[in-house]
Structure 1
């Protein structure tokens, strides 16, 4: 039986002619038979790719051979099947969108919080002078988060800078930031330092690495991931479920996208309500003429969608 891996990684490293690099890298990935989603910018690369164990090894070895990416820390998961349907490599202005383009304000190649290995984070996190800060979006920390973590009411990471004033009360604390794989913490910790926070740290390798190297202790719930798995288990020590069904309130670890493509909202829904609602968040969405077929997963391949004026925002696919 064929074995598969899913690789999660990022690297802040200057890429000249990044747009051409993205095009070349797409061909390289397709030649290996990989699927996934990679973002390339002048500031670096951010990706999740999936494929056979052999193809993933060739990919990692080839990427590591490039001196710009020699220090990439690949988080490797064994999976039963590829975690994506297609392969995308896209050129963008940032590898994680913060809206902060001034390299004098935040430049992870020059300054970030102190990196804590998972076991160091475990030792640090319960101290009286420590605050654990989740820098992820609402739908992510509603599914799972560290016990006693401070969470922010943000829909996307680009909303993080606007929350700095809310965090000012923690300036005399050691601030431990964390996210899924570490990439958001690079910019979040850099911004906190720029704004006068003195003692800033970040969980190296994020939640995923913490689960692998520290057993995931005190991470409550599941970890949202940006592929068709939707979530993964982290805690092997004292696991609990903290998320509840949007429709009935029953405890459930299942995160989906609304089957109505013009809603596409991220939300948690139990299997019973998923069946009853056809994977929709509301009766209005269930009756929508463009409703997608719900297959029980709640994962849909991304297609461009119009602005939903009722919600007042441009809604994104679960693959964003």
Structure 2
């Protein structure tokens, strides 16, 4: 395991995106890093891989920008580079929801950490005695690879379908503590805010998503593996890849 894989995002107001795009591209290329960085006015989202020193050096450079000084990452390892190329793109959203009123940089929904969620699931209720349900905000094919036991799954094919699914199922969530979750935290962050605005009480997001949960709480209450969008295909609760990729070309 010699390649460090990182996933990170931050909702923060960004401007002069073409200049930032060029700077990030140069910084990553010069360190031999591959993967994807998405930039939008609402923030940054990245999945990158390289040797440990190169990744840490890139993060040190990125965090010199005050907007990213507290950027947190989720880490895992692989035997070879899981990405074929480096892409740095400017997008309308770093995770597309088609719901512009949802702006996490203006204020997050409450978050629950992995150890607290595990304790709630162990007990079957939160600290106030309300029943706890987990809500998977990912696409159906991701859910099929693995999810929390008894998680709510609305069988969406893309995240832009989540707002309508919420309208269709909102009443089913009332009276419960709802913890939304996704791979690394970005989708469930937007989802939690939308649920709050839709009038669902007692909503939390799983801080750091499934990857942080694996890191801190292992396989407890989780069945299967976590799908990832690279050549590893999925990670088990030990953050070990399902597919041990060999050397990849840039084509």
Q: How does 1:94-109 map to 2 (within 5 A)?
A: 94-102=93-101, 106-109=102-105
User: Deviating runs (4+, > 3 A) in structure 1?
Assistant: 300-303
Distance 1:152 1:59 in 2: 38
RMSD: 2.3
3-state secondary structure, aligned to 2:144:
helix
Please give the per-residue CA displacement for 1:69-92, whole angstroms capped at 9, x wherever unaligned: 122111111221122010001100
Please give the per-residue CA displacement for 1:262-281, whole angstroms capped at 9, x wherever unaligned: xxxxxxxxxxxxxxxxxxxx
C-alpha displacement at 1:10, in angstroms? Answer: 0.3
Match of 1:131 in 2: 133
Match of 1:84 in 2: 83
Match of 2:199 in 1: 196
Distance 2:112 2:162 in 1: 21
Match of 2:37 in 1: 38
C-alpha displacement at 1:23, in angstroms? Answer: 2.3
C-alpha displacement at 1:176, in angstroms? Answer: 0.5
Would you say 1:122 and 2:124 are equivalent positions? no
C-alpha displacement at 1:168, in angstroms? Answer: 2.3
C-alpha displacement at 1:111, in angstroms? Answer: 3.0
Would you say 1:186 and 2:185 are equivalent positions? no
- Residues 19, 168 of structure 1: alpha-carbon distance in 2 compared, 3 angstrom cutoff: farther
Match of 1:239 in 2: none
Distance 1:302 1:17 in 2: 29
C-alpha displacement at 1:171, in angstroms? Answer: 2.1
Distance 2:51 2:215 in 1: 21
Match of 2:171 in 1: 168
Contact 1:135/1:188, CA 8 A, preserved across alignment: yes
Q: How does 1:237-252 map to 2 (within 5 A)?
A: none
Q: How does 1:6-17 map to 2 (within 5 A)?
A: 6-17=5-16
Contact 2:235/2:242, CA 8 A, preserved across alignment: no
3-state secondary structure, aligned to 2:22:
helix
Q: How does 1:47-62 map to 2 (within 5 A)?
A: 47-62=46-61
3-state secondary structure, aligned to 2:104:
coil
- In the alignment, structure 1 segments of 5+ residues that lack a partner are 237-252, 256-295, 304-320
Distance 2:177 2:135 in 1: 10
Would you say 1:230 and 2:233 are equivalent positions? yes
3-state secondary structure, aligned to 2:195:
helix
C-alpha displacement at 1:24, in angstroms? Answer: 2.0
C-alpha displacement at 1:235, in angstroms? Answer: 6.1
Please give the per-residue CA displacement for 1:179-229, whole angstroms capped at 9, x wherever unaligned: 000000110001001101121101111100111111131110010001110
Provide TM-score, normalisation by structure 2: 0.89
- In the alignment, structure 2 segments of 5+ residues that lack a partner are none
Would you say 1:154 and 2:156 are equivalent positions? yes
Distance 1:86 1:97 in 2: 22
C-alpha displacement at 1:302, in angstroms? Answer: 11
Contact 1:220/1:235, CA 8 A, preserved across alignment: no
